[in-house]
Structure 1
Amino acid sequence: MKSFARSGVLGLVCAFIAAPAYAADVSTGPCGFCVLWDWIPFILNGFALNVVISILAMMLALVLGIGLGLMQISESKLASVPARFVTQLLRNAPWIVILFMIMSLIPYRIEVQGWGNFILSDWIKATFAFSLPVMANVSEILRGAVASVPKGQWESAESLAFSRGQSLRWIILPQCVKQMIPHLMNWFALLVLATPLASIIGVREAVGSAQAAMESAGSSPTLLIPFYFFLMMIFFIFIYPVAIWSRRLERNYAINS
């Protein structure tokens, strides 16, 4: 989580280093910060799509990841072996590869008999693509949390004549929640940071909006530092509180456990 804090400091350092070059170009182009000021609402509107994609992808990843994690810890090899394979495959695949794969496999229009045609826009497909690697990591987080529960808890549940499913539902999983929350928040922050990849496939989120704004303003080199520094700062402002909260929860749960 410290990497999020370092990213903001690194951005300030890079901006300071690049300032002389930027100042030298001001005389040959428009004032970058003046142009940025006019385009801030447009970029923030694009950033709202980053947030929407992140929230929806995280919700989908939680639902699918919990199911995949439960399959991982299943006593049936027919469920656990494929689940482990899918988990490891998606955990170790580059996000951009998954993004392009989903964009290629899912059609733009889906026809459902009796319901009509459904249009799947690029941002919807990107949301599903981003949910897949997070789903795999949620699955692994759940598996690790269950494995960390002392065996005495399972034995106590068995002594009460609980089935395996009842033991998981009423005894084991409730103890795993507090261990999982900080890790899930961490992955949400990473998910937000990954959403600008959607600009590669034409989704008009914050980075895509900033690029469109710079093209409309003439694509002057003087626009690069103000626009990209502004992008970095809005992501930092959104993510840094999540990082602080996650670190605090990790510390509190470590003390209480």
Structure 2
Amino acid sequence: MSQFTDWDILRNLLLAARWTVLLSLIAFAGGSIVGLLLTFMRISRRRSLIWVTRIYIEIFQGTPLLMQLFIAFFGLGLLGIDVSAWTAAALALTLFSSAFLSDIWRGCVESLPKGQWEASRCLGLNYLQTMRYIILPQALRIAIPPTVGFSVQIVKGTALASIIGFVELTKAGTMLNNATFEPFKVFALVALIYFLLCYPLSRASQYLEERLNVAGKRA
């Protein structure tokens, strides 16, 4: 007989959800930093930087996140670099997120009319001044909704970290199921918690898209 009450199951899942949230925040913050660097490299005039960025993005967008987690955890171990499941999960999700965020932000920058660049040159602004005062403020307005929307994918992506032994929400659900033999109850609660984490982000993305109404205003 299981010694776990419904409250015990829920409490343990909520405790594990803390690590899901923390891992998501680290992946989003790290991915934003790396993604911003990649975005500047991609829109630069140096062909070598553009090609390096393209290869990076193709690799991380074209391979499964699960495989990236395996490489980060087991691959680094084969090279003599001892990493914990936490470090490997944070690293893999950061690199994965940066590739997609960079593509989102590059598209936002390139969606601006070419006249913006031409006008800035007429005003005598250099490249950095153009980016700071003209291009980035407008691109940021376009980028906010898809960026918030992509954060949902990061949260759901943390579930794959359970495969390398990182105890987050999905892994905790599996362990509780093995102890209680109540899969429907346990995984229904896991799904509910994921929904409660992701739904506000999805609604925020939709709200920002409607509020900013970038496409409509541009039309």
With structure 1 as the length reference, what TM-score do the two structures score?
0.78
Q: Which residue number corresponds to residue 98 of structure 2?
A: 135
The question of 1:90 aligning with 2:49 is answered no
Contact 2:24 2:154 in 1 (8 A): yes
Amino acid at match of 2:132: R
**CA shift for structure 1 position 39:** 2.1
Distance 2:33 2:185 in 1: 39
Q: Which residue number corresponds to residue 124 of structure 2?
A: 161
Q: Which residue number corresponds to residue 244 of structure 1?
A: 203
Contact 1:61 1:134 in 2 (8 A): yes
Contact 2:65 2:96 in 1 (8 A): yes
Distance 1:79 1:252, change over 3 A: same
DSSP-derived class of the 2:45 partner = coil
Distance 2:5 2:186 in 1: 9
Distance 1:210 1:35 in 2: 14
**CA shift for structure 1 position 231:** 0.3
Matches within 5 A, 1:36-75: 36-75=6-45
Larger Rg: 1
**CA shift for structure 1 position 123:** 1.3
> Unpaired segments of 5 or more residues in structure 2?
none
What percentage of residue pairs aligned between the two structures are identical?
Answer: 27
**CA shift for structure 1 position 174:** 1.0
Q: Which residue number corresponds to residue 23 of structure 1?
A: none
Matches within 5 A, 1:1-257: 35-107=5-77, 120-217=83-180, 220=181, 223-254=182-213, 255-257=216-218
Distance 2:72 2:83 in 1: 12
1:133-169 Cα deviation digits (max 9, x unpaired)? 2101111112111111111110111011111222112
**CA shift for structure 1 position 91:** 1.4
**CA shift for structure 1 position 101:** 1.0
DSSP-derived class of the 1:230 partner = helix
